[in-house]
């Protein structure tokens, strides 16, 4: 499996983890994702499309992963609680997927709106 395929699968896994956190309404596609899906015949749910609101970077193999999450929270939940729960869920998921990694992932969660 190529690095790109592994990265895409990991991104989808993290997106699913985030969507299962109580208080998360949906991942934020951002304007770029909205434009890409509007202009693409395949649309946002197409095979190989990067899930909206999840970016994963790893500067080097020895470095921890950097995960950025952008989401919209439900209005009936406190944004800070949703952000903290999302961060913990993503860190736990990465720790379970990569138990041998010495450094934990650096996870940033931004709540961009409420519905």
Please give the pLDDT value at position 46.
Answer: 47
Q: How many CB atoms lie within 10 A of CB 95?
A: 12
Q: Are 3 and 11 in contact (CB under 8 A)?
A: no
pLDDT at residue 66, as a whole number: 95
> What is the pLDDT, as a whole number, of residue 61?
79
Residue 35's pLDDT is what? 54
Residue-wise DSSP of 15-61? HHHHHTSTTEEEE--HHHHHHHHHH-SS-TTSTTPPPTTEEEE-SST
Q: What is the bridge-based pairing of β-strands 66-73 and 54-57?
A: antiparallel
| pTM metric for this prediction | 0.79
Domains of the chain by start residue, with CATH: 3-114 (3.30.70.1350)
3-class DSSP state of 68: strand
| pLDDT-flagged residues of the chain (< 70) | 1-4, 30-50
Task: Determine the pLDDT at residue 38.
Answer: 55
pLDDT value of position 6: 73
Predicted local distance difference test score (pLDDT) of residue 45: 47
Contact 81, 111 (CB under 8 A): no
């Amino acid at each position: 499996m190529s690095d790109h395929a592994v990265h895409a699968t990991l991104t989808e896994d993290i997106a699913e983890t985030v969507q299962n956190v109580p208080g998360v309404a949906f991942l934020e596609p951002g304007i770029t994702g909205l434009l890409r899906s509007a202009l693409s015949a395949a649309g946002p749910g197409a095979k190989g499309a990067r899930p909206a609101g999840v970016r994963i970077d790893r500067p080097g193999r020895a470095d921890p992963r950097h995960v950025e999450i952008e989401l919209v929270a439900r209005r009936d939940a406190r944004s800070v609680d949703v952000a903290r729960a999302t961060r913990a869920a993503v860190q736990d998921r990465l720790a379970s997927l990569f138990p041998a990694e010495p450094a934990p992932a650096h996870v940033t969660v931004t709540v961009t709106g409420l519905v």
